[in-house]
Amino acid sequence: MEISKVIQKYVGAAGPRWDIVWVPVEGSTNQVLVIIVDPPKLGQAPFPCRATGDSLTDGRIYIRADGETREANSEELDLLIQRGSAGAQVEVDFAVEVLGEVASVTVDEENTVDEYLNKMRARLIDAMPRPEPRSTDAGSRRAGLAGLSAYRAAIDGLSPVASALMEPEQRSEEEYLESIDRWESRFRAAWTVALPKIAASQLRPAIVRITNRTTTFFHDVEVKLHLEGDIFAFDYSEPEWADDFSDLELPHPPREWGPRQRSLGIPNYANMGQFYTPSATQYIPPSISYKNGGSVDLNLDVGELRPRGTYESEDEEIVLVVADRSLTSIRGTWELTARDHNDVYTGGIDVAVAGNRDLTAVARQILALEEAVE
């Protein structure tokens, strides 16, 4: 109390906090009086002297230097002012998680693509006209004339009106077979591109969850998440979406050999919907953007993150596919920034790999090699 009477008038009520501790001296009845002053913190402005006394002047700023207590010089005063203008240290404790199904995918090529292409090739070649057997026998010639090829029968068997509406086959047999070969090459290349899209319709979508474990309110939060390893992100699709060849951008086989109906120039009213322009709808940007490059980088615009609050990205936005089947987990790092906070908060994350998903049955259904299982 006596010490406080002397000190308090110089530091004031808003001055630095201090206390005293008595330290006993071993082998003596004397004690040492220690005055403990709380260390300064970021955000604390300089503490000016609040009264005039011996060697002290009201309004001046004093510091404790090596072996002396004196007035602060200009450089020291700059540092004290800089300390006061800096933001106070904020308690930070975030948790970043990746939920959903992170897995590798496989498809048995022999029981899917190869089987489909062999089946389609056989059907296309079977549609070609078969050469009539040569024979000098008159009866055989009559039998040959009676047994015209499927192609000639399709043309000659039509009525004059129907025949006028049909256009004969213009391709040579060599051109027809070459078109089948080109289609097969394009299909194999397109299938490689379509496989990730099929996986994106079968895996459970990934969700990024961010938890604020502190009582601090963060505004305009942005998070960058880097997942290291042979992993890729793709846009999620509904399971039914992959049932259509056009959605998967798989080329259709060439037209089967034979006559085709002439175009009469009549508008195709089934396609008139393309001229209809629906009313504009508000565009809602995705909550996650990504960039693939061997590893994958995810960017999230979180917005506000309340005290003790949790943020989750939108469901059914992306899927994460692991290309290396030997991986059991993916290592990641994240960075978080927020408005009014000049720090970049960082951390690490481990994402478990859920094993391998065999999509052979799904691929066979898409290629109509077997019936869909309800």
Task: Give the pLDDT means over successive 10-residue stretches in the chain (374 positions).
Answer: 87 87 92 90 87 90 88 90 74 90 91 92 89 53 42 52 70 92 94 88 93 92 94 87 72 88 58 49 76 93 93 92 90 92 89 92 86 46
Return d(Cα 228, Cα 295) in angstroms, integer: 5
Return d(Cα 145, Cα 139) in angstroms, integer: 10
Whether the Cβ atoms of residue 367 and residue 112 lie closer than 8 Å to each other:
yes
Return d(Cα 6, Cα 253) in angstroms, integer: 99
Return d(Cα 220, Cα 340) in angstroms, integer: 9
Q: What is the DSSP string of 102-122?
A: EEEEE--SIIIIIHHHHHHHH
Helix (H) or strand (E) holding 305, with range, is strand 295-305
Return d(Cα 116, Cα 263) in angstroms, integer: 31
Local structure of residue 276 (DSSP, 8 states) = -
> Furthest-apart CA pair in the chain: how many Å?
143
Q: Give the model's pLDDT for residue 278.
A: 52
Residue corresponding to tokens 């079968």: 202
Q: Give the model's pLDDT for residue 204.
A: 92
Return d(Cα 224, Cα 362) in angstroms, integer: 34
Whether the Cβ atoms of residue 48 and residue 60 lie closer than 8 Å to each other:
yes
Dihedral of CA 187/190/195/201: which sign? negative
Residue corresponding to tokens 């308090």: 8
Q: Give the model's pLDDT for residue 335.
A: 95
Local structure of residue 59 (DSSP, 8 states) = T
Measure CA of the first residue to CA of the last residue in the chain; give whole Å.
85
Residue corresponding to tokens 């005039």: 52
Helix (H) or strand (E) holding 85, with range, is helix 74-85
Q: Give the model's pLDDT for residue 222.
A: 95
Residue corresponding to tokens 């994958």: 296
Return d(Cα 342, Cα 211) in angstroms, integer: 20
The rounded Cα 80 to chain-centroid distance in angstroms is 46
Domains and CATH numbers, the chain: 2-85 (no CATH), 94-129+142-257+284-366 (2.60.40.10)
Question: What's the pTM?
Answer: 0.60
Residue corresponding to tokens 């933001």: 87
Whether the Cβ atoms of residue 76 and residue 310 lie closer than 8 Å to each other:
no
For residue 260, give the 3-state DSSP assignment: strand
Local structure of residue 43 (DSSP, 8 states) = T
The rounded Cα 182 to chain-centroid distance in angstroms is 35
Q: Give the model's pLDDT for residue 164.
A: 60
Return d(Cα 69, Cα 48) in angstroms, integer: 14
Residue corresponding to tokens 């004397």: 30
